[in-house]
Amino acid sequence: MASRVELTPAAAQLLRKLGGDHGSLMFHQSGGCCDGSAPMCFPAGEFRTGGSDVLLAELPVEGLDQPVSFWMSTSQFERWRHTHLTVDVVQGRGSGFSLEAPEGVRFLIRSRLLTEEESAALDG
Amino acid sequence: MTRYTPPGQDGSVVSYESRYDHWIGGEYVPPQRGNYFENPSPVNGRPFTEIARGTAEDVERALDAAHGAAPAWGRTSAAERANVLNKIADRMEANLELLAVAETWENGKPVRETLAADIPLAIDHFRYFAGAIRAQEGSLSELDDDTVAYHFHEPLGVVAQIIPWNFPILMAVWKLAPALAAGNAVVLKPAEQTPASIHLLMSLIHDLLPPGVVNIVNGFGVEAGKPLASSARVAKVAFTGETTTGRLIMQYASENIKPVTLELGGKSPNIFFDDVSAKDDDFFDKALEGFTMFALNQGEVCTCPSRALIQRGHYADFLAAAVKRTEAIVPGNPLDTDTMVGAQASNDQLEKILSYLDIGRQEGAKVLTGGRRAELGGDLAGGYYVQPTIFEGDNAMRIFQEEIFGPVVSVTSFNDFEDAIKTANDTLYGLGAGVWTRDASTAYRAGRAIQAGRVWTNCYHLYPAHAAFGGYKQSGIGRENHKMMLEHYQQTKNLLVSYSPKKLGFF
């Protein structure tokens, strides 16, 4: 089944650890400068989404009770919607208030183009 | 050419301490939980100092110190505060080389930039706000013969400032200078990627400031930034960074009904009209430099001219010359004064840029030069280097829509004025833009039509104090670098005074 977002095994493993420490989790994809393309990870509900956001995915993570929601602002989504996003993890030290930074790692988005079939299924 | 010795080695003009605690109340204070984190230099990827890992307890101590200092500091005369700022500027000027080398080691940027831009601009910024606060006046409104409204500027009290990593000292000074001039006490959190150079600056100027007026709490956003930004004990939050954290800071501020100023970046268009190539002269040469400004500071600038829009009539020729100019950029050791492009500030930043080089190619953009990680080897092995890269593509591509924050420019063409403006404004952001033309009318009309807070016209990447800098659209709120920033750090007190002895007659 077509999806817009998926997790690498390393991202899932990190989410398991963060979920153990912080409970239910969410992502909000950032834009703009500095750490602008990073998916920011928060305790679920910490970041208030609203009418100007889109829920792209509810990502199940083995070992976590709740799926991890993945949000993006609607305006940004309009410019990203033709791409499939994979949440990965790299060594580093991001700023922003994302939960993983103290672990010495950073969630990172890797992208590929959605196929026509995937786009049709998702946008249908 | 000069190659500076890395900080801490024999013969270097500067040494970092092996550890930095928080700077609170005029002294170093260890983190309450006793934890530290390593701070690597992007030049070689190796740690050179360790930094206090602050938490809410440390933020509270810093706020205590700031609240202790704020009332007296707020009552000092404008002349007294201006003198302090001028003395800070003088002290920095006397130590310019030291600060520049330290900043390069911290951030990875070429030392020719820190020597000629970062530190001189920071020095001038203190002097500008020293002058601005002396010149600032309240106002009065003569409402009628007997009634006068007086308007006084008062400091907000204690303000929070969260600083980005791309210009660690300069961005801190952009925020500190107006806040201090206006009479506020500050709790400042540097970026976790570049937490050390601000301490080097404080070690030079600490005797000039009363204890507690400036407090520095280091640490990670979630552990130290959040308790600071969400504190009911700060009267205002200033932040430079990205949109999700900007929204989160607004959200926290809304809980306390406190103002914010935000600078959240952009995707700045740099527009080259046909007449730029009418002659092969100084102006043409300047325009090529203007194009190549995307590589300044490795592209880690909120206003990086990362979209180049070139008119069709001269597209091929101008672009060919621009590629040639870009290929003349000298990469290398950031401590070498001949180096034009240095290291990206962190490994995750490097990885993000590489991920954009990947999706750019997948979307069909053509790489005209660069396009890869640069392996410089030797002493620089392990550092975070990227080749200056030119993509040719379409404005709908991700590489045209998101700030890559690397030495990467995405080029497209336009037909006429309307087409240029349409493409320029087809972005979520509106921080900076560039317009290049020999025609003053075109320049003026383009500058007014572009939805961005700063339109460089026949220039780019100048950041003088006394020119307002800030964003339209999702690029933020507020205008820095200008006396109007003072009012973002001030309350207005209105005294409404009647000089009439006669009652109104209602009761």
List chain A pLDDT tens, one digit each, 124 residues: 899 999 999 999 999 999 999 999 999 999 998 888 899 999 999 999 999 999 999 999 999 999 999 999 999 999 999 999 999 999 988 889 999 999 999 999 999 999 999 999 998 7
ipTM higher than the 0.90 cut: yes
**Distance between CA B120 and CA B93 in Å, rounded?**
7
In 3D, which of A81, A58, A61, A83 has the Cα closest to residue A71? A58
Residue in chain B nearest A39 by alpha carbon: B244
A-chain residues within 8 Å CB-CB of B251?
47-48
Task: Report CB contact under 8 Å: B359, A108.
Answer: no
Vertex B235, ends B230 and B241: CA angle to 5°? Answer: 55
How many separate domains does chain A show?
1
Mean pLDDT, residues B422-446: 98
Residue A111 contacts B, CB cutoff 8 Å: yes
How far apart are the C-alpha atoms of B184 and B486, rounded to whole Å? 11
What is the nearest CA distance from A61 to chain B, expressed in angstroms?
22
Domain boundaries, position A92: 5-123
At A35 the pLDDT is 85
Q: Is the pLDDT of residue B83 over 80?
A: yes
pLDDT at A48: 98
pLDDT at A94: 82
Which residues of B are catalytic, by number?
263
Contact B349 A76 (CB under 8 A): no
CB spacing of A101 vs B403 below 8 angstroms: no
What's the CA gap between A7 and B53, in Å, rounded? 29
- Summarised one tens digit per residue, pLDDT across range B121-168 is 999 999 999 999 999 999 999 999 999 999 999 999 999 999 999 999
CA distance A65 to chain B (A): 23
Q: What is the mean pLDDT of residues B242-266?
A: 97
**Confidence band for B1, pLDDT divided at 50, 70 and 90:** confident
- Has residue B256 got a pLDDT over 80? yes
pLDDT of residue A93: 83
pLDDT of residue B235: 98
At residue B382 the predicted structure's pLDDT band, cuts being 50, 70 and 90, is confident
Residue A81's domain is classified under what CATH number?
2.60.300
pTM greater than 0.90? yes
Average pLDDT over residues B358-374: 97
Q: Which pLDDT score is estimated for B124?
A: 98
Are A83 and B359 in contact (CB < 8 Å)? Answer: yes
- Taking the CA of residue A114 and the nearest CA in chain B, the distance in Å comes to 10
The token duo for B210 is 């009363």
- Percent above pLDDT 90 for chain B: 98
Q: Residue window 9-48, chain A: list those with CB within 8 Å of chain B.
A: 28-38, 40, 42, 46-48
Mean pLDDT of the region B436-441: 98
**Do B210 and B26 form a contact (C-beta atoms < 8 A)?**
yes
Smallest CA–CA separation between A33 and chain B, in Å? 4
Torsion of CA B326, B332, B336, B339, to 10 degrees: 0
> Which amino acid is present at B98?
L
Q: How confident is the model at residue B102 (pLDDT cuts 50, 70, 90)?
A: very high
Give the side-chain half-sphere CA count within 13 A for A121: 10
Secondary structure (DSSP) of B22-63:
EEETTEEE--TT--EEEEE-TTTS-EEEEEE---HHHHHHHH
CB atoms within 10 A of CB B324: 12
Sheet of B19-20: strand order equals B19-20, B47-52, B36-40
**Adjacent-strand bridge partners of B480:** B469
For A29, the closest chain B residue by CA position comes to B244
Asked if A83 reaches chain B (Cβ–Cβ under 8 Å), the answer is yes
- Tokens 């600038």 identify what position? B301
Q: Which whole number is the average pLDDT over B216-231?
A: 97
The CA angle B335-B45-B357, to the nearest 5 degrees, is 95
Which residues of chain A neighbour B349 with C-beta distances below 8 Å?
92
pLDDT tens-digit readout, B407-425: 999 999 999 999 999 999 9
Residue B280 has pLDDT above 90, yes or no: yes
